[in-house]
Structure 1
Amino acid sequence: MTRPRIAYAGMTHLGLCSAIAAAAQGFATLGFDADASLTRRISAGDLPVREPALDDLLRAHRDRIDFSADATTLHACDLVYVAPDVPTDGAGVSDLGGIDALLDIVLTNTRDDAVIVILSQVPPGFTRARQRPGRTILYQVETLVFGRAVERATKPERFILGCVDPDAPLPSAWRSFLESFGCPLLPMRLESAELAKISINCALAASVTTANTLAELCERVGADWSEIAPALKLDARIGPHAYLAPGLGLAGGNIERDLATVMRLSEQHGTDAGMIRAIVANSAHRKDWALRELHEALLATAPQAQIGVLGLAYKENTHSVKNSAALALIAQLAAWPVRAFDPAVPASAAQHPKLTAASNALDAAREVDALAIMTPWPEFRELAPAELARLMRGRLILDPYRVLNAAAAHAAGLDYRTLGARAS
């Protein structure tokens, strides 16, 4: 059987990473986007997203992938994924206008026998409501994790597949493509697949909230969460890959969107979502950890203090600032001067009247009274606490993700504070 030609419509984070992974899997691939300037930029090798190893992966398989803004090129494709990023507002409500418009373009410009699959995350009921006479639209749960997109796209754990009839054979082009990855295929009804992704994020949110709740207790009673988490991961009922690292609430938008979706659906259908509301409340509380520590240890008595902030992205290895804890912190420090640095995000992303853009991590620490390491970028792990102590005017270090060596920080005379352990 001739290998199917694959297309991804929508060259934002999800579609672009998925398309490059398909080419790496050995399939002739088309990356389509209606924005001609975007496809020209990508064709020239200038990727609009930052992901470890993505540029290298594209260069290695460039001969198998084309990028185009001409919708008629979709006609040659056997399997077309509709895969734009779906934006959300501050309340976690998805704007579905863009994916609807792109789906119309895809249906208009593909053959009747082409397999159409929605890959973007959509609410339950979306795919069934978009079925057209003579065309079947399928759904697949996306596995994108910012900062780990290449790994997730090239080495998937499983594929969760939404089908109009889950007992019917999968379309041959779809099955051929999916089976090439050698992982389990889980077909189910459309609504089950759409809700499966939300269910996964709710379970992850519950795990993160458990870690945050107990890590905060550790900070008060003298325990250390870093000592407790390994014991939980050795429990077979929890497992070695459990999300047990404490953090500054839930960020990035995807999990928060899914929690908001569950609360809306629960209200519509009269079900209980008290646990989900508690998770959201805990996330909001934990987001302010750094601000509380700053006020307690410094700002209440030092009105002229200067604060350094390392990291503006919501997590490492991405340029996304959606719901960034760092930006939220800086916005609440309007009365104090701030020096900020991030290797992928310009300091201008922060809204602050007294902001200085530092040239590098050490420059962000120069003459500051406190340094908050808000994004655990790998390069920040190379910082020597003694060097930071030499550059800083004050002694306070806020390191929620334990980027620095705590013992070295204490030895350098720093007031080192992290999540899950009492300040010393």
Structure 2
Amino acid sequence: MALKITVIGTGYLGATHAAAMAELGFEVLGLDVVAEKIAMLQRGEVPMYEPGLEELLRKHVAGIEGASGRLRFTTDPAEAADFGDVHFICVNTPQKHGEYACDMSYVDTALESLAKHLTKASLVVGKSTVPVGSADRLAARLAELAPAGDEVELAWNPEFLREGFAVQDTLHPDRIVVGVRSERAEKLLREVYATPIAEGSPFVVTDFPTAELVKTSANSFLATKISFINAMAEVCEAAGGDVVRLAEALGHDDRIGKKFLRAGIGFGGGCLPKDIRAFMARAGELGADQALTFLREIDSINMRRRGQMVEMAREALGGGSFLGKRVAVLGATFKPDSDDVRDSPALNVAGQIHLQGGQVTVYDPKGMVNARRLFPTLGYADTATDAVRGADVVLHLTEWREFRELDPAALASVATTPVILDGRNALDPQTWRAAGWTYRAMGRPAA
């Protein structure tokens, strides 16, 4: 008999996982405590922008004309417990207020609300990013609460989604990692992921702690690589070098590779910053804090980049005050192909300049609604041209393709002063300079 799957939590991770499981041929039931979110998903609409997700959802949601009908949603944990053979926990694990540590309350609540209704053999699978040691604790809690007792067990299967590529990453993962305690759990997860395994996705079987550590250590490695090239940009600024050429030369070394070596204003979003901080906090609890002290410097380099971009903008305006100066900011999201503005370096820079008296106007292809909600006092424009109109300096802070395809000559005609600061090293300096712009980027020569 075909496995039935539930997905607990239908935010960014959960909605994507539920739609992908339906695409892989399973009957899926999504569970969430927010009734409005469930109603939205049931209409085939997603509460966030993610390329391809809404189309995938509409292909499978029951009640939509022409859909497979394999995907439904509910707010009832008892219904989910009765329906599923495999239950994926996909809730958020944000940073605790005023602390580095991870807030596990959503995971704990999700597991407990489901567990008390589990009366038949089933597998509960954690996908949320959690501190190492959480799975052991949650497995004990599951055994305590589930009426089916030993017939219910836990596994850990971390997610590796990249915003903007989440559908691709779920259907065609570069690896599948499962932390299991039994052959039965491994067999069930091999069945769930049979299609990507058959396509060649590596299937890595580990214990609980290793599975939990894979995601946080992967994010820590990426953060380290990004902050490394940003540190090199600081050295290039001081020495008169060119960090783009430096990164190109480094990238030809197979041991290092080209990816994540683009210097700029650093990383943000809902994962990397909070994950490396939670990792440091957990290492401290385990008595291994010295092993991760380097991550404090990685975080520090990253946050410093934002202030450096503000100072670069001040210099471009003559080195004095921002008062009365018009600043255009291209980009609000923390990365392109997403509407996510959580811990966005672009918005942080825009906000700092605004607080120092600058008249800031922001434009972003997809992040405007979320940006307005977070920073209602900033100015917003409907197009890049409108944002740049009358600007004394333009800051390119999120590397959307739309910005790379702008006509620099047309933009120069509407700016008061054609000065562009490329905070992502993603624009072509020659093209912009040829169109009359003064082009500056972090870690690159002025001309």
Task: Give the alignment's TM-score, normalised by structure 2.
Answer: 0.88
Question: Which among 85, 90, 98 is matched to residue 78 of structure 1?
Answer: 85
Paired position in structure 2 for 1:226 = 244
Q: Does 2:343 align with 1:328? A: no
Q: Structure 1 356/206 Cα, relative in aligned 2: closer, same or farther at 3 Å? A: closer
Aligned partners of 1:344, 1:38: CA distance in 2, in Å?
Answer: 20
Aligned partners of 2:304, 2:391: CA distance in 1, in Å?
Answer: 26
Aligned partners of 1:88, 1:163: CA distance in 2, in Å?
Answer: 26
Q: Is the partner of 1:8 in helix, strand or coil?
A: strand
Q: Does 2:326 align with 1:306? A: yes
Paired position in structure 1 for 2:190 = 175
Aligned partners of 1:31, 1:146: CA distance in 2, in Å?
Answer: 20
Paired position in structure 2 for 1:423 = 446
Q: Is the partner of 1:323 in helix, strand or coil?
A: coil
Q: Does 2:160 align with 1:143? A: yes
Aligned partners of 1:230, 1:22: CA distance in 2, in Å?
Answer: 39
Q: Which amino acid aligns with 1:329?
A: V
Instruction: Give the Å deviation of 1:343.
Output: 2.2
On the 8 A contact 1:221/1:422 being kept in 2, the answer is no
On the 8 A contact 1:92/1:253 being kept in 2, the answer is no
Aligned partners of 1:66, 1:415: CA distance in 2, in Å?
Answer: 54
- Aligned identity (percent) is 29
Report Cα offsets for 1:69-88 as digits up to 9, x if no partner. Answer: 23233212111101112222
Instruction: Give the Å deviation of 1:169.
Output: 4.9
Report Cα offsets for 1:80-121 as digits up to 9, x if no partner. Answer: 101112222464432211221111122123343111101111
On the 8 A contact 1:311/1:373 being kept in 2, the answer is yes
Q: Structure 1 8/383 Cα, relative in aligned 2: closer, same or farther at 3 Å? A: same
Aligned partners of 1:234, 1:114: CA distance in 2, in Å?
Answer: 48
Aligned partners of 1:92, 1:388: CA distance in 2, in Å?
Answer: 42
Q: Which amino acid aligns with 2:239?
A: V
Paired position in structure 1 for 2:312 = 293
Instruction: Give the Å deviation of 1:221.
Output: 3.1
Instruction: Give the Å deviation of 1:385.
Output: 0.9
Aligned partners of 1:301, 1:350: CA distance in 2, in Å?
Answer: 28
Q: Does 2:101 align with 1:93? A: yes
On the 8 A contact 1:299/1:305 being kept in 2, the answer is no
Instruction: Give the Å deviation of 1:350.
Output: 5.0
Q: Within 5 Å, which residues of 2 pair with 1:238-277?
A: 238-240=256-258, 242-268=259-285, 269-272=287-290, 273-277=292-296
Q: Structure 1 394/17 Cα, relative in aligned 2: closer, same or farther at 3 Å? A: same
Paired position in structure 2 for 1:338 = 360
Q: Is the partner of 2:424 in helix, strand or coil?
A: coil
Give ranges in structure 2 of 5+ residues lacking alignment: 62-67, 144-148
Q: Which amino acid aligns with 1:39?
A: I
Instruction: Give the Å deviation of 1:10.
Output: 0.4
Q: Is the partner of 1:136 in helix, strand or coil?
A: strand
Give ranges in structure 1 of 5+ residues lacking alignment: none
Q: Is the partner of 1:202 in helix, strand or coil?
A: helix
Aligned partners of 2:404, 2:117: CA distance in 1, in Å?
Answer: 49
Report Cα offsets for 1:119-174 as digits up to 9, x if no partner. Answer: 11111111110123323211111112212211211110111111235xx4535332
Q: Does 2:42 align with 1:43? A: yes
On the 8 A contact 2:262/2:425 being kept in 1, the answer is no
Paired position in structure 1 for 2:64 = none
Q: Which amino acid aligns with 2:439?
A: Y
Paired position in structure 2 for 1:14 = 13
Paired position in structure 2 for 1:283 = 302
Aligned partners of 1:356, 1:257: CA distance in 2, in Å?
Answer: 28
Q: Structure 1 319/394 Cα, relative in aligned 2: closer, same or farther at 3 Å? A: same
Q: Structure 1 349/371 Cα, relative in aligned 2: closer, same or farther at 3 Å? A: farther
Paired position in structure 2 for 1:388 = 411
Q: Which amino acid aligns with 1:180?
A: T
Instruction: Give the Å deviation of 1:195.
Output: 1.3
Instruction: Give the Å deviation of 1:332.
Output: 1.4
Q: Which amino acid aligns with 1:239?
A: G
Aligned length: 419
Q: Which amino acid aligns with 2:28?
A: T
Query: Which deviates more, 100-109 or 265-274?
Result: 265-274
Q: Is the partner of 2:204 in helix, strand or coil?
A: strand
Aligned partners of 1:13, 1:261: CA distance in 2, in Å?
Answer: 20
Aligned partners of 2:301, 2:49: CA distance in 1, in Å?
Answer: 30
Report Cα offsets for 1:327-381 as digits up to 9, x if no partner. Answer: 211221221111111222235245375x322111110000010111111122222
Q: Is the partner of 1:6 in helix, strand or coil?
A: strand
On the 8 A contact 1:327/1:350 being kept in 2, the answer is no
Two-structure CA RMSD over aligned residues (Å): 2.0
Q: Structure 1 80/267 Cα, relative in aligned 2: closer, same or farther at 3 Å? A: closer
On the 8 A contact 2:179/2:205 being kept in 1, the answer is yes
Q: Within 5 Å, which residues of 2 pair with 1:98-247?
A: 98-131=106-139, 132-133=142-143, 134=149, 135-164=152-181, 168-182=183-197, 183-240=201-258, 242-247=259-264
Q: Is the partner of 1:391 in helix, strand or coil?
A: coil
Q: Structure 1 261/357 Cα, relative in aligned 2: closer, same or farther at 3 Å? A: closer
Query: Which deviates more, 338-347 or 75-84?
Result: 338-347
Q: Which amino acid aligns with 2:5?
A: I
Q: Which amino acid aligns with 1:210?
A: F
Report Cα offsets for 1:52-75 as digits up to 9, x if no partner. Answer: 111122223342211222323321
Paired position in structure 1 for 2:146 = none
Q: Structure 1 115/299 Cα, relative in aligned 2: closer, same or farther at 3 Å? A: farther
Q: Is the partner of 1:348 in helix, strand or coil?
A: helix
Instruction: Give the Å deviation of 1:234.
Output: 2.6
